């Protein structure tokens, strides 16, 4: 658990600036043609802190995502594969469903993270300070702009994106675990 938390802290620290740039370039009518243009403009207009405005939200999203993801996978494996045999079908189904549940449950956090990263103009016009900073401010702004349903905008796309990703990840993990365990057993038997 501690290793997973430290890995998430480091991963998100390294990837958060890239996520900010990606989301700003994906916005409708984005003024940026190149990554370097976006990086320079954000740095010049908003400072280095803009690349980490959503860092705590990213962590707040990724830690629960991983917890829900792993618990759901283990629960489904108990149901579908109680003897814990190598079974690619059960690994894929469990992985896909675990990713779907985790993605759906953490969508409100993803919506707020996206708002923090993009500083979307409609949301900014409803915000007195002109910048949306911090998760609490993002949650209030999302609610002001769109009500409760706004927290789940894009939930279907997020679930569809995560399902194959987590199905593949668990299938590959279980495959290599099976191969390595089999190899280790053969090595012990040959001793």
Calculate the average pLDDT of the chain. 88
H-assigned helices in 32-154: 35-46, 55-80, 88-105, 107-118, 121-125, 135-146
Q: What is the pTM of this model?
A: 0.76
Q: What distances in angstroms separate CA 171 from CA 9, 87, 182, one per listed residue? A: 25, 9, 16
Residue 154: per-residue pLDDT: 93
What does the alpha-carbon distance between residue 190 and residue 179 come to, in Å, rounded to a whole number?
16
Q: What CATH architecture does domain 1-190 belong to?
A: Alpha/alpha barrel (1.50)
Q: Residue 2: pLDDT band by 50, 70, 90 thresholds?
A: low
DSSP structural state of residue 53 = T
The average pLDDT across 29-41 equals 90
Residue 123: per-residue pLDDT: 57
Q: Residue 183: pLDDT band by 50, 70, 90 thresholds?
A: confident
Residue 17: per-residue pLDDT: 94
User: Is residue 62 within 8 Å of residue 13, measured between CB atoms?
Assistant: no
Tens digit of each residue's pLDDT (9 = 90 or more) over 78-116: 999 999 999 999 999 999 999 999 999 999 999 988 888
> Crossing angle for the helix pair 35-46 and 2-26, nearest 10 degrees?
100
């Amino acid at each position: 658990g501690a290793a997973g938390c430290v890995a998430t802290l480091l991963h998100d620290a390294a990837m958060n600036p890239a996520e900010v740039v990606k989301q700003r370039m994906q916005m409708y009518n984005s003024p940026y043609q190149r990554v370097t243009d976006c990086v320079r403009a954000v740095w010049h207009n908003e400072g280095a802190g803009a690349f980490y405005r959503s860092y705590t939200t990213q962590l707040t999203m990724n830690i629960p995502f991983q917890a829900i993801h792993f618990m759901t996978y283990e629960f489904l494996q108990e149901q579908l594969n109680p003897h814990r045999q190598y079974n690619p079908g059960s690994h894929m189904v469990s992985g896909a469903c675990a990713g779907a549940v985790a993605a759906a449950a953490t969508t409100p956090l993803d919506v707020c993270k996206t708002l923090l990263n993009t500083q979307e103009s409609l949301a900014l016009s409803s915000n007195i300070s002109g910048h949306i900073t911090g998760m609490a401010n993002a949650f209030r702004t999302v609610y002001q702009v769109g009500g409760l349903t706004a927290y789940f905008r894009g939930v279907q796309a997020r679930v569809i994106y995560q399902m194959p990703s987590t199905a593949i990840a668990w299938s590959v993990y279980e495959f290599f675990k099976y191969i390595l365990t089999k190899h280790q057993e053969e090595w012990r038997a040959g001793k």
